[in-house]
Each structure stands twice: as structure tokens, then as C-alpha cells.
A and B are shown apart, each in its own frame.
Chain A
Amino acid sequence: MAKKGWKRPPMTWKRFKNQLLSVIGNPFNVIVAITLIVLFIFIIIPLLTMIQNTFVTTRGALKEVRKLYPDAQVGSYTLYSWRYLFGAENFVSSGGMGLKGTLIYVNLLEPLFNSLIVGLFVTVISVPLGALMAWLMVRTDIPAKGLLSSLILIPYMIPSWCKALSWLTVFRTPEYGGFYGLLTGLGINVPDWLAYGPIAIIIVMTMHYYAFSYIMVSGALRSINSELEEMGEIQGANKVQILKSITLPLVLPSILSATIMTVSKSIGTYGVAARLGEPAGYHVLATKMKYFLGQSSTEAVGYILSIVMILLAASTIFINQRLIGTRKSYATIGGKGTRSNLIPLGGAKWPMLIFLAVFIIVAMFMPLFFLVMESFQIIPGGGYSPSNLTLYAWAGELENAPNTAFDREGLFANPLFFHSLWNTVKLSLIASIITAVFGQFFGYITTRGRGKWYGNAVEQLIFIPYLMSGVAFSAIYYAMFSQPHLGGLIPSLTGTFMLILLVSIVKHFPFASRSGSSNMMQISVELEEAATINGAGFWRRIRSVIIPLARHGFLSGFLLSFISIAKELDLIAILITSEENYTLSFLSFTYAETMPQAGDAICIIIIAFILITNKIADKFGGNVSKSM
């Protein structure tokens, strides 16, 4: 059969003019064009620059590069960094240790293996955990639901590196930590494998990344009409069968999306692994990469590791797509019949309640308690007797220090603290508002352009920052904006607040856009068409129809970005080059080495800031658990 479809009529001047006018005259097209340009500049170019930089000789690496390439100049292209990692000599074992004696093992295979182990366990534990919690909260009659739902996402609002600090307050050993922890202080010998390394990292990350699965699965569960489950009941299926053959397949796409997020996040996170792994020499890809990035001669090697991490994350997406395919992505299930009848838990009611309560205690109350307690201690791990308690870390002047271990003034006596607090407030509010606004536009474009080339292009471009570890992402921005661009139109941004802001915004595009599209999906196209028919232009539709209806979703999306940016450490650590740009998280990071009490105190302040903002947004209808 001949190829069907439409034959384009001949191009005439009039036709050309009308087509041009209709493309330019429609603000939507203009916005799509601007979006694609913005995404190209801030996502594609950095990615390409990073790949390019693995070949470029930097001033810092010149001496090392010349050992292999005697003619190399600054800026010349060599394979030095690739040979540094993959050169033949790296595969030669030394010291009779087999594979473990090779450089490739130390530099790449061991951290890769460790990252895979951490990623695998965190995902395997936290995704089902979050999904189960979501199911209990959305679909069952579990008691105390109101209280639980206000607490269940708070562990996510505690920065993961604060949880790592909190872990250390309990399990720290003087050999590696320099200070006593609660247990060693009590004379209990904490084995190193528990205090530091994979187990500690997996536990802390699990208490954090359950949130992805919880948020996504609860969103999916809410959109399922309970009639679908009731139909199963009428057909004679029991509760387990209904869960297995109706509910689970329907939320499977969201579970798999949560899996992707958890895998790439747990592989890419630097802070937790650095705190809990590095002291004992346990390296994952993220910490190894940071190590390479931190040395001028091996910066590009860090980029190669970052590419490895991107490939790792991209392969989970590939596997994911093979598993669900596009046919099964029924993201929206019927707009009708939101009536949902809860499933009675019966005898399982109390055990399930206890399960959730234990989780909240372990993931929220205990970390907070230990952080608060240590912030008041004179000697960490020295017990909670009044003689060991002080307000010094919060407000003490240097001359009143209880002992010489305190090498800096307490927070409220330190102008740098207030400066950092101001920076954190400024950064997190500005960045998350801008991110959320962009996210709604991206969501609008991807939902209205679903199946069209530009919709798909935006959807795919937007996801790239997610695959890049925060440390690598900021390193590349640092490199890119260290010189002026476009003849000075874009000045050098090194050491500016602007650069930190820019990185924070772009890195959070994926989340914000996800949130935006789930929000826009709920606004039927017909509502807009009805406005078009009544004479409303594009901006009028946005103003009178989209914005009023998208308000709550926007606030939820704002919260999602806000929580993430306010507690961000990995992303901005490299970019902060002077005290001028300190944020609370970075200040805590610098304090934690010498004065952990103040580091803990800063954590508490960050958590309080997040909780207060969350509370305020909640008043206006924002809700993180409905943000994706």
C-alpha cells in the first residue's frame, strides 16, 4: 500500500507569511523556543563541556600531562586523563594482590562496586518501604492518620548530611572521628564496620530516600479509583490478590520512577558517604570523584568518573523503560470518581501503626534528639550530666570557652553565622521560587506538547541534570563560568552568589518540572479551549485559568525545590570560595571537623527553617506529598 498521509501543498508567499505569523504570533511557540534555548545553554552545553574537558589540558595539570605528552600546552587536547584512569599500567598488579593491587581497582572498580552496593541496598530497602508507607497512609484505615501524615515526611526535611552527623554523635569512635560518640563515651566499644562504611551509609540514606517512593506512590494511589479495587473484590479476589494484581500493577510506573530517582540519588550523593565512609577509607564514586576534582592535576579524571555515574544512572532508566514500556505508563487514571473507600486493616492495624511509629522515631526523633543534645555538650560523647552541658556552641564568646577544644565562637556570637543564615534564606527562597515557576512552564509545555517533538525534547533535556551528581554538576559550572563568555556579555561568575543561584536552579529543574507536569496534567485542556473560544489569548488563559487552578500545585512544587535547596551541600560546596558566600550548610560543614557541637546546632537551625517554611506553605495549600 502506498504511503498514506498528507501531501504538503506547494509553498506560496501567502502560505509562508501566514505560517510564519501563526508561529510567531502564538506566545506558546515563543515560550517553547525560549525554553529550548535555555535548556540548551544550561544543560547541553555544560554536559558537552564536561566531556570536552576530559581531553583539555589545564594549567594545573600541565606538568603531569607533559610527562606523557611533552609538546602539550595549556588548552591542547590529549588523552592524558583517560590514560590516567584506563592506561595499560593501571591493570598491572603490584604487591601480589591480584586485581586489588591494580590502580584501576583503587581508582574506579572499588568505588564503582561500593556505589553499586550502596545504590542497590538503599533502593531495595527504601522503595518498598516508601511504597508500603504510602499504601498504608492513602488506602487503609490506619489510626492517627492526621498526626502520621504531618510527621511522615519530616525525616526527608532533615538534610541527609545532618542525619550522618547525628549518626556520628552516637557511633563516632575516637580513632576516626577525633571525638567520642555517645556509645564510646559510655565505654561501649563500637565496631568500625557499624560506625563507618556501607552499613551506616545505607541506613542513613534509606531514612532519607524512602521519601521519593512515598511521594510518588501516594500520588499514584490517590489517582486510582477505588472502584477498580472494588471490582476485583466483586470478582472474588481477596485483599492480597487485589493488592498484587490490581493495585500494584497500577502504581508500578510510579514505583519504577521512584526507583530511578533513588538509584541515581544514592549513587550521586556525596555528603553522607564523605562523613560516614571517608574516615575509614571507604570510597564510593561520588567521594572518589570529589577527591579527583579537588586536585588540579586530576580534575578531568573527576569528570570521567562523573560520566561513569551518568552512564550508570542512564542504564537504570533504560532498564526501567524496558520493564514498563510506554504502553503501561497510565500516569493518569480517570478523572472521574475520586471517591475512595478505605481498606480495613483489621488485626494488622496496630502492628502497622507501631511500624510507622518506629520509623518516625528512628528517622526523625532520634536524629533530632542526638543533634540537639550534642549541641549542648562540652565534650562530645561525654554524657548528658549538667557538668558536661553548655550553651557555648550556640552563643559563647571565644574567651569564655570551657576548654581549648573550642577554637571558634558560638553561633550567635559569630557574624559569619548571621551572614550565612541570610545567604541560605536568600538562596533557598529565590532559587526555589524561580525553579518552581520554570517547573510549571516546563510542565505546561511537556503536558500540552505530549507526543509532539518539542514536548518530548523538553521532557528529555530536563532530566539530564538529574543524572549528574551534584558535585560534578557544580564543578562543570565552575569551570564553564570561570571566564567571561560572549565577549563579556556573560561575565566571569567565579565566587559570585549568582553562580550558586544558577546551579541551584538548573540542578533542580528535573524535580520542579515533574511537579509542574503532574500539576498541569490535572488541568483539562478543554478548560483552556473554552477560554480560547471566548476570546482569551495565551497570556489571558495563563492568568485567568491556569494560574488560579495551578496555585496549590505550584506551592507544593515550590516546597519540594525549597526543601532540597535549603539543605543542599554537595552542589554548592565547590562554588563557595569566600566567606562572602557561606551558607548554613557549608558553615556547618566547616565547623563539624573541629567543633561538632556547632555543626549540630546549625543542622537544627536549618531543619527549623525548613519546617517553618513548610508550615507556612501548608497554610496556603502547599503539600510536599502531593508535589509529584
Chain B
Amino acid sequence: MSKIVLSHIDKFYGENHVLRDINLTIEDGDFMTLLGPSGCGKTTTLRVVSGLEKPQNGTMTIDGRTIINAAEAFYEAPSKRGLNLVFQSYALWPHMTVFQNVAFGLKIKKMKKAEIEETVMRALKTMRIEEYRNRYPNELSGGQQQRVAIARAIASSPKLLLLDEPLSNLDARLRIDMRAELKRLHKETGTTIIYVTHDQVEALTMSTKIALFKEGEISQIDTPLGLYTNPIDLQAADFIGNPRINFVEAKGLYNGDKLFVTSEFGVYTYDHETLKLDEDIPENESFDCVLGLRPEMVDIYTKDPGHKNTVAAKIYANQPAGSETLVTLTVGQTEFLAIQVGLVEYDMNQDVFVVLHPGRMNVYNKKTGRLIKFAKTKHKAGVDD
């Protein structure tokens, strides 16, 4: 049981306002990822939750218990918050063996010796490093050190586990292994996890929820799928997804019921219920908007497939990469990227046909940069959208 509620958290370093009115609820058992570029405040938020930083404004509760009440200058000690933290640098004590590192917190809790032995070994076993118990940190590889750091954090069975960019010092292969390891750990222990990363792949693959940070503020909180299909603004859309989303310049017209979007792809009509009506959508006047088109939603044909959303296009460049092929196309002046599964060969300047799915595209108001039309999150096979 562990539900964390942060409300109206502000953190200043001198005049520097690094966290701006952070509101975040993390449900019991969530794998919440704080995602954003470096310097956006995600690590600071984690440190506020851990108790290593004291925010100037705001409150935080864990299961209803007040942990932070800045107005009353009340900050519960880190050790009394029932959590543990894995540092980006691992912060393993170099003068202690693996066993001593993991046992440290248990010793402070005055646990009995036999119990410590058992608990430590269980943690080491979970992380599959029991054979290194008598090694010193500098005698281990980076991946092994990482496992020790996690073992140290989970040994005390925290209700909440905080992870600060734990995979950033590992090589690509180990990173994939550790992602699986962490996901399994989350499932097995049921611990609530807050995970900080700038890597969207980590965020998308592991989390149950993602909080997207931008310049000290949370711009969006959603499930990985929700965040991927409907990024709340142009910056979020640009940040999420690899290869990047395509932005296509267009003109919008909203008559109070339907939204008409005109681009070089043609005119698309969107119904009332797909629009995000709490956003600024100018009525009965033409306005600049941007279509968001994910590269994997473009189908390429060499002959006209006869689909209603078919457009003629030209191949600009072709980048086969083994499991996938990146294809750059042009329609009129509009250039965009498509991704095809497997190896596909096209000639430069070859004429092709692309089938686009307007229902799966996002529409942004160019002036505000905000999402005004949702993309469909689920597609049925064979249905035209």
C-alpha cells in the first residue's frame, strides 16, 4: 500500500525556480517514470520525494500520512519515509564489500545477524549476484555494480523504490537486460517505483505511467500508449518517438461542429467528438495548424491501391537498416519520413502511392502549440480510418 500525492511543490535554488507547481499522484503499484531532457527538474522531483531536497512550497503525503508540509517547515526524515533510492552513480561505498553495502541499512535498523544474512542473500539472489558477496565494488563490472546498488535498495523491502537514471552508465546490451530485470522486479515485488530517465524507450517499455517534464513543470501525465499517440503539445510530440514524428503544415477551419484541415495531403474532416474542446480552437476563421504523423502509419505502395486516402508521392531517400527501412518521401513541398518493416528497396525519385490514416493523426494549433484533435489509440484491422 503506497499512494504518493505531491501537490503544489515549488523548489528554488536562489532565484532559480527549478520546480514549478508540481502536482503528481502515484497510485500504489505504479511504475511511474519521470521523463524529460536534462535540466527539466525530474531528478530534483525525485530528490524531493526521497527527502534529500526540501521544497519551499507544497505538500506531499504517502498513504495519507503527511511527509512534507512546506508551509509548516515540516519535512519527514528520509529514513522514515519507507523508501529507498538507487543513484545514477550507484554510490556504492568503496570500502565495503557487496554484502556489507547491502547489509548497511539493515544493521542500522538493528536487525538480528541471522536475519540480516538471510535478507541480504535474498536481495543478492533476486539480482543474481550472490557469488559476488565478498567482492569490493571496484572489483565488479558496471552492470554488476548496478545490480548491487539495486540489491541494496530493495533489501529493506521499501514500499517505494526510487531510481535515478540507473541505466545511463550501462552499454546498450546491458541496458536491455536490466530493463527486463527491473520490469520483472516490479511485477514480483509489487513495489511502487518512481523512475527518472531521459530515455523515452526506457519510459515507454517499462512504465505504467509517464510524467513528462518540461522546464520544471509537468506537461503531461499519461500511460505510455496515451503519451505516444496523443502528445499534449508540439514539444512533447517531438520528444516522444524514434524516429521522430512528422509535422505537416496545414490550415484549419472550425465551424463549431466539425474541423476541416487542409494540407498538401488533401482536406480531412474531423468530427466533434475527436476534438479536444478545452483547447483554443478559433471558430469560423482559417488558422495555422500542424498535423502530427507517425512514420509507422504511412503505407507505401508502388501501384495505386485504390484506397480513399491515397496520395501520390515521390521517394526522396531510402535508408535500409536491417529490421526496418526508413523512407523519406515528398508530396508537393511536404517532406516526411516513413518506416517500413524489413528490407525494402526504392529508387531515388521513384513515383509511389502512400496511404495515410487521417484518424490516426494528431492536429495541433500552431499558435498555441497545443493538441486540438486526438488520434485514435486503437485500430481495427481492415477498417479505414
Number of residue pairs across A and B with beta carbons under 8 Å? 86
Complex Cα distance, B324 from A249, in Å, reads 49
The B interface is mostly helix, strand or loop, or mixed, namely mixed
Asked if residues B104 and A531 are in contact (CB atoms below 8 Å), the reply is yes
B residues near A545, Cβ cutoff 8 Å: 93
Bound form: Cα–Cα A545–B94 in Å: 9
Contact B156 A527 (CB under 8 A): no
A535, B109: Cβ atoms closer than 8 Å: yes
Q: Which partner residue on chain B sits nearest A536 by CB separation?
A: B108
Q: By the criterion CB–CB under 8 Å, are B12 and A6 in contact?
A: yes
Please report B residues at the A interface, Cβ cutoff 8 Å: 10, 12, 14-15, 17, 50-52, 56-57, 70-75, 78-79, 83-85, 87, 89, 91-95, 104-105, 108-109, 152, 156
> Known contacts being A524-B91, A549-B95, is A533 close to B73, with CB within 8 Å?
no
Interface pair A527/B93, CB less than 8 Å apart = yes
Which B residues touch A549, using CB under 8 A? Answer: 93-95
Q: Is A9 an interface residue (CB 8 A)?
A: yes
Residue among B50, B74, B91, B109 making CB contact with A18, cutoff 8 Å: B74
Q: Which of A5, A9, A16, A532 contacts B78 (CB 8 A)?
A: A532
Contacts A6-B12, A529-B52: A22 and B73 contacting too (C-beta < 8 A)?
yes
Other 17 A-B pairs with CB < 8 A, given A15-B73, A532-B78: A3-B15, A4-B17, A5-B12, A9-B57, A14-B72, A14-B73, A18-B73, A19-B73, A524-B89, A526-B87, A529-B91, A530-B85, A531-B93, A532-B52, A536-B104, A536-B105, A545-B93
Specify which chain A residues have a CB less than 8 angstroms from the CB of B95 in the assembled complex.
Answer: 548-549
CA distance in complex: A146, B254 (Å): 83
Query: CB-CB contacts of A527-554 with B at 8 A, as 1s and 0s?
Result: 1011111111000100011001100000
In the complex with contacts A535-B105, A536-B104, A6-B10 CB distance below 8 A = yes
Chain A positions 222 through 235: 1 when the CB is less than 8 Å from some CB of chain B, otherwise 0: 00000000000000
Across the interface, do A534 and B79 meet the contact criterion of CB distance under 8 Å? Answer: yes
Pairwise interchain contact A18-B105, C-beta atoms closer than 8 A: no
Q: Whose C-beta in chain A lies nearest to the C-beta of B12?
A: A6
Q: How far is the CB of B71 from chain A (nearest CB, A)?
A: 5
Q: Which of A239-267 contact B (CB under 8 A)?
A: none
Q: Judging by beta carbons under 8 Å apart, are A533 and B85 in contact?
A: yes
Residues of A within 8 A of B (CB): 3-6, 9, 12, 14-16, 18-19, 22, 524, 526-527, 529-536, 540, 544-545, 548-549
Contact B104 A15 (CB under 8 A): no
A527–B95 CA distance with the chains assembled, in angstroms? 11
Residues of A within 8 A of B84 (CB): 533-534
Q: Which residues of A contact B94 (CB under 8 A)?
A: 549
Q: List 30 A-B contacts (CB under 8 A).
A: A3-B15, A5-B14, A9-B57, A12-B72, A14-B72, A15-B72, A18-B75, A22-B73, A526-B87, A526-B89, A527-B91, A529-B87, A529-B91, A530-B85, A530-B87, A530-B92, A530-B93, A531-B104, A532-B78, A533-B51, A534-B84, A534-B105, A534-B156, A535-B79, A535-B105, A540-B108, A544-B93, A544-B104, A548-B95, A549-B95
| Complex CA distance for A572 and B211, rounded to whole angstroms | 66
User: Which single residue of chain B is at the shortest CB-CB distance from A19?
Assistant: B73
Enumerate chain B residues within 8 angstroms of A14, measured Cβ to Cβ: 72-74
Q: Are B71 and A9 in contact (CB under 8 A)?
A: yes
Residues of the A chain whose Cβ atoms lie less than 8 Å from the Cβ of B52: 529, 532-533
The residue among A4, A529, A535, A545 with the most chain B CB atoms within 10 A of its own CB is A535
| CB-defined contacts of A16 to chain B, threshold 8 Å | 73
Cβ-defined partner of A15 (8 Å) among B17, B71, B93: B71
Best-surrounded residue of B56, B72, B84 (most CB of chain A within 10 A) = B72
List the A side residues contacting B12 at CB < 8 Å: 5-6
Report the Cα distance A14→B156, complex, angstroms.
Answer: 32
Q: How far is the CB of B98 from chain A (nearest CB, A)?
A: 14
Chain B CB count within 10 A is highest, among A6, A12, A529, A540, for: A6
Within 8 Å CB of B156, what residues of A? 534
Decide if A533 touches B93 in the complex (CB within 8 Å). no
In the complex, what residues of A have CB within 8 A of residue B75's CB?
A: 18, 22
Q: Which 6 interchain pairs have the tightest Cβ spacing?
A: A534-B105, A535-B79, A526-B91, A530-B91, A18-B73, A6-B12
Query: Closest approach, in angstroms, between the C-beta of A621 and any C-beta of chain B?
Result: 13
Q: A3 vs B15: C-alpha distance in the bound complex, in angstroms?
A: 8
| Nearest chain A CB to B58 CB, angstrom units | 11
**Chain A: minimal CB distance from B67 (Å):** 13
Residues of B near A15 (CB, < 8 A) are: 71-73
User: A9, A534, A535: which has the most chain B beta carbons within 10 Å?
Assistant: A534
A420 to B20, CA, bound (A): 67
Task: Report whether A533 and B79 are in contact in the complex, using a CB–CB cutoff of 8 Å.
Answer: yes
Complex Cα spacing A548 to B93, Å = 10
Complex alpha-carbon distance, A534 and B15, angstroms? 32
Q: Find out whether the CB atom of B56 lies under 8 angstroms from the CB atom of A6.
A: yes
The interface residues of chain A lying within 8 Å CB-to-CB of B85 are: 529-530, 533
B72 touches A533 (CB 8 A): no
Q: Given the known A-B contacts A530-B93, A533-B84, A535-B79, are A9 and B74 also in contact in the complex, defined by CB atoms under 8 Å?
A: no
What residues of chain A lie closer than 8 Å to B15, measured between beta carbons?
Answer: 3-5
Within 8 Å CB of A535, what residues of B? 79, 105, 108-109
Q: CA A278 – CA B89 in complex, angstroms?
A: 59
Q: How far, in Å, is B107 (CB) from chain A's closest CB?
A: 9
A3's nearest neighbour on chain B, judged by CB, is B15
Report the bound CA distance from A14 to B12 in whole Å.
Answer: 22
CA distance A147 to B349 in the complex (A): 73
Q: Which residues of B contact A5 (CB under 8 A)?
A: 12, 14-15, 17
**Using Cβ atoms and an 8 Å threshold, which residues of chain A touch B72?**
12, 14-15, 18
